[in-house]
Amino acid sequence: MEDRTRVPPARLFFRTERLEADQVSALGLDAPGGLVGLLAGRGDAVSWVRHGRGLVGWGRLLEIEARGEDRVEELRAAWREVVYASWWRDPLVRPGTGPVALGAITFSARSAQRSVLLVPRVLIGLDDEGAWVTTAAPSGQEPAAAEEVVAGLLARGDASRTQPPARPPAVEPATVAVGSRSDDDYLAGLRAVQERMRAGEADKVVIARDVLVTPAQHLPTGDLLARLAHGYPSCWTFSVDGMVGASPELLVRIRQRRLESRVLAGTARRRPGTGAEREAEAQRLAAWLEADGKNNREHALARASAIEALEPLCSVVEAPERFVLTLPNVLHLASDVRGVVAGDTGALSLVGALHPTAAVGGTPTPAAVALIDELEGMDRGRYAGPVGWVDWHGEGEWCIALRSAELSGQGAGPGAPARVFGGGGIMPDSDPEDELAETRAKMRPVLSALGAG
């Protein structure tokens, strides 16, 4: 039986091994989509993949959970205890090898949902230097060898091909139902928020909504991830404890004391199209976005918020000029913030300092979050919260859980609807109808993956 206790075990044993060229080929990892392809048919999948590189795994060995205001610090401290109590073999010693936990943290300290760190029994990684597998077991047990993992995958049939399908198979149309509030209620909520902003309570407030999507057929988590990774390869395709998505927004990456963070705020919606038509539309929308006053003010607030949060933790913070990030469904104003961390500050400490950003909360943050609690009309759970991974020495990568859904089981299907989220930054001069349309555009990646768009 797998250990799901909240109390960290006295000891775990991790084993990292390089995958040889013939194993990489047999698993299809040298083909586009090969890493996520290993998750086909799996409901217990964990994932952190971008441009075909990253981490995927399965088999929950350890679960650490926390709630409340100190949830990030409690997770950080508990993970450190696990690392101190455990031992491992890792001849590679690079980001993502050795002991690694994947996590999903609630947006709000007042959420009824929990924040978690998970340790999978099997974790397969791929970067520009090659592939590896890390296996984990409780004290007294030997972790599986790499050749056992490869043999199991080949026998299962997930990786018996050398070329994954160019496009995931189509799914039957799904049904979409009202979530926490109707469109009319959402619009009324936006207008109420704007009245409070005009009264001086906040400069910007991010208001989200949800819909319930019921696929006509069962879609295991791994299959849903393959559809997201194919459609949005430049985003981080993630899956942790039922929270899945393809996020474009990097909250923080830290490697050898150097950090990166990407701020997205300011959005232009794209319409379906192909070829030259799509390219012309993207150029037109980019020019509009760069010149639009409302979107520029929204982005400036989010950018300043990130820099302000990082400066006390860094010896150097740099923020080059913003740019336009083009995605299949939207365009965003984007800023990449870089810095050098002071002391031994790790990824989870940075997560705690940065969250919630102005891009998902608002400005000033305490006032904006208070208005969200009062007027948004739902518990976001882990939507717009931090999601990512941390390794044994505190390095890792964390995004904001955007373009995402909460699954009620090991996937979505006729008896297990998915809760799909979308939100937008509301300014005093925002057009509520336009903001509603923006949430629909932001939901499109997950809706399409579920067969609802």
- Active-site positions? 204, 249
205 and 368 Cβ atoms separated by less than 8 Å: yes
Distance (Å, whole) CA 301 – CA 414: 42
Measured in whole angstroms, the distance separating CA 54 from the mean position of its chain's CA atoms is: 13
Phi, then psi, of 413 in degrees rounded to 5:
-175, -170
C-alpha dihedral sign at 437, 443, 444, 450: negative
**Burial class of residue 186, CB neighbours in 10 A (0-12, 13-18, 19+):** buried
Instruction: Output the 3-class SS for 253-289.
Output: EEECCEEEEEEEEEEEECCCCCHHHHHHHHHHHHHHH
**What are the structure tokens assigned to 449, written together?**
């993956």
Cα separation, 394 vs 407, whole angstroms: 28
Q: Which residues, listed in sequence order, are joined to residue 18 by a DSSP beta bridge?
A: 132
> Any residues with CB less than 8 A from the CB of 277 and at least 6 apart, and which?
none
Which neighbouring-strand residues pair with 206? Answer: 425
Nearest to 421 by CA among 434, 409, 438: 438
Instruction: Enter the tokens of residue 370.
Output: 């208070």
Which DSSP symbol is given to 311? G
DSSP code of residue 150: H
Strands (E), 171-226: 175-178, 204-214, 219-220
What is the distance between the alpha carbons of residues 185 and 354, in angstroms, rounded to a whole number?
A: 31
Nearest to 357 by CA among 270, 288, 446, 261: 261
Q: Measuring CA to CA, which residue among 229, 252, 197, 297 is closest to residue 40?
A: 229
CB 444 within 8 A of CB 278: no
| Cα(347)–Cα(339) distance, integer angstroms | 13
Q: If you write DSSP's letter for every residue of 294-309 in order, what string do you get?
A: HHHHHHHHHHHHHHHH
Rounded Cα distance, 17 and 146, in Å? 6
Q: Which of 60, 58, 22 is nearest to 42 (CA)?
A: 58
Separation CA 22–CA 438 (nearest Å): 46
